[in-house]
Amino acid sequence: QRSTLFPYTTLFRSVGKIDELEKALGQMPDGNLCIGHTRWATHGGVTQENAHPHLSCDGKISLVHNGIVENWRELRSGLDDHNFLSETDTEVLVHLIEKNYHGDLRLAVAEALRQVRGTYGIAVVHADHPDELVTARFGSPIVIGVAQEEYFVASDATPLLPYTNQVVFLNDGELVLLKRKGMEMTTLGLDHLKIETQNLDWSLSQAEKNGHEHFMKKEIFEEPEALMNAISGRIDLKNGTARLGGLNLSESEMRQIRRVIFIGCGTALYAARVGKYAFERLAQIPTEVEIASEFRYMDPIIDEHTLVFALSQSGETADTLAAMREAKRRGAIVRGIVNTIGSTIAREAGGGTYIHAGPELAVASTKAFINMAAVAVLYALMFGRNRSLSMATGVRVVTALMELPEKIKKILAESEHIQSVADKYAHYHNMYFLGRGVNYATALEASLKLKEVSYIHSEAYPGGEMKHGPIALLSTDFPVFAIATRNQLFDKTVSNIAEARARKAPIIALVSEDEKDFTAADDVIFVPRTMELFEPILNTVATQLFAYYVAVKLGRDVDRPRNLAKSVTVE
């Protein structure tokens, strides 16, 4: 609601989705400077009082904050004479700035931030300085978009694309004063720093829906081209290998690697499982996949022979970044597999590979999964060929990879059928996804996608695990989606389907296209055959479409599901 409490500032806040705020705003008020923030609640309830911006007692200073102020209690105890109106950790920041303000906003912000422990990406304005905005970062990303006589401040580069390709990424401990004419970058000690502007190699049309109803659908349909972009120039068919310059390791250094660890969150984590499978198969290197938010607090056994890959679409995920820093601190060689160019993980990784999926705007990650998995396999292939993998096998892997974009197109052409299956199952409240071997990654990703866009409860299990407990839930109203493409575990999967059917669970099966006489399921989705290693890539295209159409059938806000953020920049 519009607030009349503060005489100098027009303040609008609302709970829930951005549409609510748009309603409250009505027409955009006049002005040349504006800050706003969709806050993912960390301290205090989801209420209007806790929504950002927060204001100083005199109402002149407004601030938005992404991150967490860890020492807020301690700081608040020194601000007894200030009037707090929210339960947030953030509000302490604006009062601290007010306490330190003596006519110079930048100085006050720097003073205040020097006392803060925790993470922040902030934007601050003052009613007496209508042409100034101060932004600073520590632990939470800040990127400044530089357009014609305009600046934009955001936590992720992608939303800036409609306005500009010129961006400045802030590093931790950097502060920028944006003025009507120009900007100045300093440290928190106000030592001046050189500003480096980067060009984002993404076009505006990539950030538009281009006739699709939702970004999610558009991004799924971009997968053939996105995958081509990830592999082109990086494969060597003749020698059956890959060439990824960003690894920055010599052949002998590559041979010193004894262990590989993949870290990531959500979809990136499941793409990493494909990497594990590939590294163990092709390069015979023991490989683990670790949840970044756990890894950062574990006692991982790491040495200079450990290679850690951090996977991230946004390149800004706080948990992945922290885990990556921890791995570095412990002496591992760290590399990034990242989509967003210039993002923090990309900058800090010390090397790695961009997946070139193009901007991903839907909250649900789709094309990034495909490209991350493909790049992880390319790394495995490169390490394999550097060791004992035969050229013939290498050539087979590269050939299979090159065929994938066309095969993805075939799945996309089946979208109407997938939609009809999705329509049939959209009314269920639960679903299991079963997948064995490398397709356990497919099942995990399929389950995540379904739950985040449709809000249907789902879980993923390797088929063999069902009898150890999960099967207890199966009944006529608890369907099973089985990933049953033809591979070494096909017969086992078919047995798992039979077990579920015996408990009267409705069954959908994802089956290789040459199994036309497959009768073990109620509904079948066919996908082209590929090498087992690449099955998660093809199979996931089908499960993404399934999740998408279920969400559409249920009338969900597909691109912006409730409670989720595109870049999770807080712990």
The least distance separating ligand M6R from the CB of residue 128, rounded to whole angstroms, comes to 38
Q: CA–CA separation, 296 vs 324, rounded Å?
A: 8
Q: Which is nearer to ligand M6R, 67 or 266 (by Cβ)?
A: 266
The least distance separating ligand M6R from the CB of residue 360, rounded to whole angstroms, comes to 8
Beta pairing partners, 461: 434
User: Which residue in 62, 320, 344, 485 binds ligand M6R (CB under 6 A)?
Assistant: 320
Q: Segment contacting ligand M6R (CB under 6 A): 227-235, 239-247, 306-314, 527-535?
A: 306-314
Q: Which is nearer to ligand M6R, 100 or 339 (by Cβ)?
A: 339
Give Cα 43 to chain centroid, integer Å.
23
Would you mind telling me the total number of residues written for the chain in this entry? 571
Q: Segment contacting ligand M6R (CB under 6 A): 70-78, 308-316, 478-486, 539-547?
A: 308-316
- Residue 452 binds ligand M6R, judged by CB under 6 A: yes
List the structure tokens of 217: 């659908």
Q: Which is nearer to ligand M6R, 12 or 369 (by Cβ)?
A: 369
Give Cα 365 to chain centroid, integer Å.
7
Pairing of strands 333-338, 287-291: unpaired
x/- letters, 43..82, toward ligand M6R (CB under 6 A): ----------------------------------------
Q: With CB under 6 A as the rule, give the number of residues binding ligand M6R.
A: 17
Q: Segment contacting ligand M6R (CB under 6 A): 122-130, 177-185, 312-320, 510-518?
A: 312-320
How far apart, in Å, are the Cα atoms of 497 and each of 324, 467, 501?
Answer: 39, 12, 6
- Burial readout 73-93 (b: 16 or more C-beta within 10 A, e: otherwise): eebbeebeebeeebebbbbbb
The least distance separating ligand M6R from the CB of residue 500, rounded to whole angstroms, comes to 26
The least distance separating ligand M6R from the CB of residue 536, rounded to whole angstroms, comes to 15
**In 3D, which of 474, 484, 547 has the Cα closest to residue 506?**
474
Stretch 268-287 residues interacting with ligand M6R (CB under 6 A)? 268
x/- letters, 406..445, toward ligand M6R (CB under 6 A): ----------------------------------------
User: Which residue in 142, 337, 361, 363 binds ligand M6R (CB under 6 A)?
Assistant: 363
- DSSP element (H, E) containing 235: strand 235-236
Give Cα 314 to chain centroid, integer Å.
5
Helix (H, G, I), strand (E, B) or coil at 458: strand
Q: Which is nearer to ligand M6R, 266 or 405 (by Cβ)?
A: 266
List the structure tokens of 107: 């100085």
Q: Which is nearer to ligand M6R, 90 or 267 (by Cβ)?
A: 267
CA-CA-CA-CA dihedral for 490, 493, 498, 500, to nearest 10: -160
User: Which residue in 138, 568, 569, 570 binds ligand M6R (CB under 6 A)?
Assistant: 568
Q: CA–CA separation, 207 vs 361, rounded Å?
A: 7
Q: Segment contacting ligand M6R (CB under 6 A): 232-240, 261-269, 471-479, 535-543?
A: 261-269
- Residue 312 binds ligand M6R, judged by CB under 6 A: yes
Q: Segment contacting ligand M6R (CB under 6 A): 262-270, 300-308, 465-473, 483-491?
A: 262-270
The least distance separating ligand M6R from the CB of residue 338, rounded to whole angstroms, comes to 8
22 Cβ neighbours under 8 A, 6+ residues apart: none
Q: Which is nearer to ligand M6R, 247 or 568 (by Cβ)?
A: 568
Ordered alpha helix ranges (H), 184-236: 215-221, 223-231
Q: Which is nearer to ligand M6R, 241 or 567 (by Cβ)?
A: 567
- Residue 317 binds ligand M6R, judged by CB under 6 A: yes
454 Cβ neighbours under 8 A, 6+ residues apart: 426, 547, 550, 551, 554, 556
For 109, other C-beta atoms within 10 Å of its C-beta total: 26
Give Cα 262 to chain centroid, integer Å.
15
Q: What is the DSSP string of 344-397?
A: HHHHHSSSEEE-------SSS--HHHHHHHHHHHHHHHHHHHHTT--HHHHHHH
Q: Segment contacting ligand M6R (CB under 6 A): 38-46, 213-221, 266-274, 400-408?
A: 266-274
Binding-site ranges for ligand M6R (CB under 6 A): 265-268, 312-314, 317, 320, 363-365, 448, 452, 564, 567-568
